Amino acid sequence: MQAVVKYARQDGAVQVRDIPEPHITPDQVLIEVKAVGVCGSDVHMWRDHQSWQVKLPVVLGHEFCGVVAQVGARVNGFQVGERVACETAAEICGECVYCRSGNYNLCPSRRGFGALIDGAMTRYVAVRPQILHRLPDIVSFEHAALTEPICVAYNALVEKTRLKPGDCVVIQGVGAIGMMALQIAKLHGAHPIVALGTDVDARRLDIARQLGATHTLNVQREDPRALIQSLGDGFGADVVVDCTGVSAAFKTSMALVRPNGTITKIGWGPQPLDASLDPIVAKAVTVQGAFSHTYATWERVLRLLASGQINLAPIIGGVYPLTEWREAFARMEDGTNVKSVISIQ
């Protein structure tokens, strides 16, 4: 079967290769993949800009859904033909305090699809049934492939940050995670919501306004501090959500957040900070990371999708066959698409 494979630690070292079909164990389920979301991390791996451990070669893709093709002999509860979406935690130890307490996203032995385990930009993937979720009939495969980034935003803004109605929220970065964070913030009554981007984000900033941002700003053209100080009482944002992973963005976070406010960091980035953290101390700011998600998050997000409360229409910029993966990646890299989806036919 064909697969999109990263094969070396260098820019552009990704290609379509033929790989063997996986064989499941008695405790696994075989998924016939129908759609895969292209994550910004996939684009980073294409360009070899990732700041996390990867195995080589590795099949890319961790945002996926499909149909149950085969069920292991010891698996109960799933039937061939069921439509499902799959979480990203391909392997966990199941024994550590984090696994036992339900926080398996933080298991130190966790290995994710598309990084340390072969991912879903291919025809079939073997998965453990504990991370499968049945899809509501009303949710298409193309939309279900975006469940994972919505879950990332939900974990960050609801389970970690606990937004309150009326919070002033700044979203740094208008890629897919930023767009999902914007919509989750709106659902929780945040106001105003400010989305920040760069020169490459002109189209995406327009989409952010469609999705509910009350203000948008290009940080390469304007200083966001003046805008944030003009909102409310002038002390700054209640919550700043860093979806970029760029060290310069974190410096801006410290400038924009109000005393006793919160900075929630989702984005990854390898650059050193090269800045004083004194503003965090002086403002008594809470800084927290938010990583991945767990089973309950997925169930809630799928209900949001089924109820139409998350708008994906302007976010999916194109659906591409597997052989056109390069176009799908490039249109995200150049800002044309907020999100590209690969359809497996």
Residue 272: pLDDT band by 50, 70, 90 thresholds?
Answer: confident
Q: Across residues 316-340, what is the average pLDDT?
A: 97
- pLDDT for 341 equals 98
> Domain residues for 259?
150-289
- pLDDT for 27 equals 98
Among candidate residues 289, 305, 326, the one where a domain is terminated: 289
Quick check: 271 pLDDT over 90? no
Task: Quote the percentage of the chain above a pLDDT of 90.
Answer: 95
- pLDDT for 251 equals 95
Decide if 125 contacts 29 (C-beta within 8 A): no
Least confident of 124-133, 243-252, 267-276: 267-276
Class of residue 16 by CB neighbours under 10 A (exposed 0-12, middle 13-18, buried 19+)? middle
Does residue 300 lie within any of the structural domains?
Answer: no
Residue 270: pLDDT band by 50, 70, 90 thresholds?
Answer: confident
Q: Across residues 25-35, what is the average pLDDT?
A: 98
| Whether residues 282 and 156 fall in one domain | yes
> In this structure, which amino acid lies at residue 285?
V
* SS3 state of residue 317: strand
| Whether residues 120 and 190 fall in one domain | no
| Whether residues 107 and 181 fall in one domain | no
CA gap 180, 42 in Å, rounded: 18
Residue 303: CB partners within 8 Å, gap ≥ 6?
136
| Closest to 159 in 3D by CA, of 290, 299, 20, 307 | 290
Q: Across residues 105-114, what is the average pLDDT?
A: 97
Does residue 310 lie within any of the structural domains?
Answer: no
Q: Across residues 35-56, what is the average pLDDT?
A: 94
Does residue 271 lie within any of the structural domains?
Answer: yes
Q: Across residues 313-330, what is the average pLDDT?
A: 98
Strands 89-91 and 83-86: unpaired
Quick check: 345 pLDDT over 90? no
Does residue 306 lie within any of the structural domains?
Answer: no
Domain count, the chain: 2
Among candidate residues 271, 289, 307, the one where a domain is terminated: 289
| Whether residues 184 and 282 fall in one domain | yes
Q: What's 219's domain CATH number?
A: 3.40.50.720
- A 10 A CB-CB count for 333 gives 17
Q: H or E element: which one contains 9?
A: none
| Whether residues 142 and 161 fall in one domain | no
- pLDDT for 259 equals 98
Per-residue 3-state assignment (H helix, E strand, C coil) for 165-199: CCCCEEEECCCHHHHHHHHHHHHCCCCCEEEEECH
Does residue 114 lie within any of the structural domains?
Answer: yes
- pLDDT for 51 equals 83
pTM above 0.95, yes or no: yes
Structure tokens of 237? 């944002």
- For residue 287, the cross-strand partners are 263
| Whether residues 132 and 157 fall in one domain | no
Query: What end-to-end distance do the CA atoms of the chain give, in Å?
Result: 12
- pLDDT for 293 equals 97
Quick check: 12 pLDDT over 90? yes
| Whether residues 236 and 189 fall in one domain | yes
> In this structure, which amino acid lies at residue 168?
C
- For residue 66, the cross-strand partners are 33, 84
Does residue 62 lie within any of the structural domains?
Answer: yes
Q: What's 114's domain CATH number?
A: 3.90.180.10
Does residue 117 lie within any of the structural domains?
Answer: yes
- pLDDT for 273 equals 87
Q: Across residues 200-224, what is the average pLDDT?
A: 97
Q: Across residues 54-76, what is the average pLDDT?
A: 98
Does residue 193 lie within any of the structural domains?
Answer: yes
| Whether residues 9 and 142 fall in one domain | yes
Which residue, chain included where needed, has tokens 């094969």? Answer: 7
